Amino acid sequence: MIETIIFDLGGVLVNLEWDKTCAPLEQVSEHSQEFVLRAILNGPIVLESMRGAIAPEEFHRNIWGELGIGLSYEEYAEIWNRLLQPNEGITSLV
């Protein structure tokens, strides 16, 4: 009998839509599209966050500082959460 099923989140349960996060950040950042994408795709601040080494509020302060963006935490969360889009193909399986 199967007791546990483990799913990978990014690219399995949800699709990662980088453009939906990068586009609004590029509009308010003083940096190029390439710089923004490199910083939020797998930059050192994001890697620290994925390891659980920094809290969401610290991630917000650090990434916004690197990008030169002065958005509130609520504005940040709304833009950042655009990244995660449901993977409709797996929903019925789950």
User: Number of structural domains, the chain?
Assistant: 1
Report phi then psi at 75, rounded to 5: -65, -40
User: For the segment 42-52, what is each residue's pLDDT rounded down to a tens digit?
Assistant: 889 988 988 99
Domain residues for 41?
A: 14-91
Question: For the chain, give me the number of helices (H) and strands (E)?
Answer: 6, 2
Q: Does the residue 9 lie in any domain?
A: no
Q: Does the residue 78 lie in any domain?
A: yes
Q: Does the residue 76 lie in any domain?
A: yes
Q: Does the residue 83 lie in any domain?
A: yes
Q: Does the residue 28 lie in any domain?
A: yes
User: For the segment 16-52, what is each residue's pLDDT rounded down to a tens digit?
Assistant: 898 899 999 988 888 888 899 888 888 899 889 889 9
Q: What is the CATH number of the domain that holds 23?
A: 1.10.150.240
Structure tokens of 13? 């349960």
Q: Does the residue 5 lie in any domain?
A: no
CA distances from 32 to 25, 42, 64, 83 (A): 10, 16, 14, 19
Q: Does the residue 61 lie in any domain?
A: yes
